[in-house]
Amino acid sequence: MLIDHVKLEIKAGNGGNGAITFHREKYVAAGGPDGGDGGRGGNIVFRVDDGVNTLLAYRYRHKFVAGNGGDGKGDKFHGATADDLIIPVPRGTLIKDAETGKVIHDMSDGEDYIACRGGRGGWGNRHFATPTRQVPMFAKNGTPGEEKVVILELKMLADVGLIGFPSVGKSSILARISAARPKIAEYHFTTLSPNLGVVRVHGENGFVAADIPGLIEGASDGAGLGHDFLRHTDRCRLLLHVVDISCFEGRDPIEDIRIINRELERYSPELALRPQIILANKCDALDEELVNVKEFEDYVRACGYELMYVSAATGQGITEMVEHVWDRLQELPPMRVYENETAGDEVVVEEGKVTHIRYEGGRFIVEGQWIFNLMNQVNFDNYESLNFFQRSLQKGGVFEQLEAAGCRDGDTVSIYDFEFDYVK
């Protein structure tokens, strides 16, 4: 079964917390703070696995969470760094933002991609020792790891796509020109998923061909199987449009070409403009009393397509077709690689600069990602830690923004369930 479209929830690990410890050693007085830092949380990493060609492994598993970093310990021991969580995917998989549908990354180059970065480890209390604060009773907690909801969409990496109605011989041609062995039978929709084959030309040269099944009238609206598999033609540089020139099943090859191209255009106007070669298959069974060959050739010529007569059954014209396809590929642009479409959506700001304040229910409510992270680093039962929290808010401009919003002495301020009366 080909699974080529799944939705995943991914979350990187949180950073470990810094330790609050003090050096203890015989004959060493006032050893001082020695709390170690927390370890980094694990990343979520997508990795190309050339041994798979489907997303079947994620049909039932949709949530992936990396490990958290270890907490710091005494004697300046650093917490353990969590292992990255590796998610293997087939080459050619697109990672998309689930909400916007925009492409985040194209897994075509074989390089690992970090989709979510693990949180940073918090500082131990040894970092907060000063000449006037020699016994810091607080440390920083680790920051949370990134999390996203993504869509994985597989778009096969094929130079050439074989398109056409069912039972016109696409699978037979693929089996003839490559080592692929797709199922071939005398009934429609024998092929239920795209098949890939490597076609060798002149020894070491070659290209990848894909048999795209299920294209019928209405495919772009979901009829047949075409709606599910048209996406696999998106990367194809050249389309081999196969028609049954023998008209054995009573089909009209001219009408077949017209219908399939209309479906391509409805799915993607850009795809409909892709170079095509019409392969008139089953030419060994051609009966010119049933087929008006001149009318057919005139139509193909008027559409601006090349025409080649082949027979998958006997091999007639197959070698010439493969060599011509190879020559045409040398003239065409390289395979499409999708660029990151979310880069412009990411707003990079300095920490402490984005704060949201609103008045609701008789309280001034303060929110912001940097403040949320700061709250995780504060021990509210410790006086020094509270002073650190207050200085961080002042440095981040929170008090100034509160006053600009109308906050006065005695007003209640709420910061993520931590409430206090504002005093200037």
Q: Identify the CATH number of the domain in which residue 172 sits.
A: 3.40.50.300
- Interatomic CA distance for residues 32 and 209, integer angstroms: 69
* Mean pLDDT, residues 249-275: 87
165-179, 213-227, 380-394: which range is least confident on average?
213-227
Quick check: 187 pLDDT over 50? Answer: no
Residues 220 and 280 reside in one and the same domain? yes
Q: Which of 230, 300, 306, 225 is nearest to 271 (CA)?
A: 230
Q: Are residues 165 and 114 in the same domain?
A: no
Q: Is residue 344 part of a domain?
A: no
Q: Would 347 be classed as within a structural domain?
A: no
Helix (H) / strand (E) containing 12:
none
Clarify whether residues 191 and 130 are in a common domain: no
Residue 301 has pLDDT above 90, yes or no: yes
Indicate the range of 42-46, 76-80, 119-123, 140-144 predicted with least confidence. 140-144
Pair (148, 179) in one structural domain = no
Q: What are phi and psi of 398, to 5 degrees?
A: -70, -45
Q: Is the pTM of this model over 0.85?
A: no
> Which CATH number do you get for residue 387?
3.30.300.350
pLDDT surpassing 70 at residue 69: yes
Cα–Cα dist 317/281, whole Å: 10
Residue 261, token pair as written in the block: 């191209």
Does 369 map to a domain? yes
Q: Which of 154, 169, 189 is the last residue of a domain?
A: 154
- Domain containing residue 360: 356-421
Same domain, 97 and 222: no
391: number of Cβ within 10 Å: 10
Residues 142 and 55 in one domain: yes
pLDDT number for residue 205: 82
- If pLDDT is split at 50, 70 and 90, which confidence band does 217 have? low
Q: Considering the domain boundaries, does residue 373 fall inside one?
A: yes
Which residue in the block uniquely carries the two structure tokens 């604060």? 133
Residue 411 lies in a domain: yes
The CATH number linked to 148 is: 2.70.210.12
Burial 269-289 (b: 16+ CB within 10 A, else e): eebbebebbbbbbbbbebeee
Asked whether residue 183 falls in the same domain as residue 278, the answer is yes
Considering the domain boundaries, does residue 409 fall inside one?
Answer: yes
The answer as to whether 381 is a domain residue is yes
> What is the pLDDT, as a whole number, of residue 350?
44
User: What residues have CB less than 8 Å from 368, skipping those under 6 apart?
Assistant: 354, 355, 356
Domain boundary among 271, 296, 331: 331
Whether residue 214 sits in one domain with residue 299: yes
Is the CB of residue 91 less than 8 Å from the CB of residue 110? yes
The confidence score (pLDDT) of residue 150 equals 97
Helix (H) or strand (E) holding 46: strand 44-48
Q: 85 with 168, same domain? A: no
Q: What residues have CB less than 8 Å from 349, skipping those under 6 apart?
A: none
Asked whether the predicted pLDDT for residue 242 surpasses 90, the reply is: yes
Say yes or no to pLDDT of 347 above 50: no
Mean pLDDT (the chain, rounded): 86
CB 35, CB 139: distance < 8 Å: yes
272/195 same-domain check: yes
| One domain for residues 12 and 135 | yes
HSE (CB half, 13 Å, CA atoms) of 181? 0
Whether residues 10 and 144 share a domain: the answer is: yes
Give phi and psi for 371, each to the nearest 5.
-70, -40
Show the tokens assigned to 42.
């694990």
Q: What is the pLDDT of residue 344?
A: 58
Q: Which residues sit opposite 357 in a β-bridge?
A: 366
Residue 342, domain member (yes or no): no
Number of domains in the chain: 3
Q: Model confidence at 192, in pLDDT bands (50, 70, 90)?
A: low
Q: Is the Cα dihedral 395, 396, 400, 406 positive or negative?
A: negative
Name the domain boundary from 125, 154, 183: 154
